Amino acid sequence: MFQCNMCGQCCRNLHRSELYAQMDRGDGTCIYLVDNLCSIYNNRPLLCRVDESYEAIFKEYYSLEIYYELNYQACKQLQGLEKNKGGN
């Protein structure tokens, strides 16, 4: 199972992917993010469910190990953006 650290960066950077455009409140943040938590967590869209997305969409393209690694890399990259914000 994908281990999310619940930093919320994926939910604050929706503008980086057209896949999430309909959930962007206009500033890159998800319309469902409230106090750094998903307000519809149990009913969130498939693309927000890493493990279920793999089974439904991505298993034809990646092994589970590679898929998780890609997700962890994206997560680290988004966290790095937050750390570097205002730092340069």
Q: Please give the single-letter amino acid code of residue 31.
A: I
Mean pLDDT of 19-40: 95
CB count within 10 Å of CB 22 equals: 9
- Write down the pTM of the prediction: 0.81
Please state whether beta strands 37-38 and 33-34 pair in parallel, antiparallel, or not at all (unpaired): antiparallel
Whether 86 has a pLDDT exceeding 80, the answer reads no
**Per-residue pLDDT, 20:** 93
**Per-residue pLDDT, 82:** 75
**Per-residue pLDDT, 51:** 96
Q: Write out the H or E segment, with its range, that includes residue 83.
A: helix 64-84
DSSP 21: G
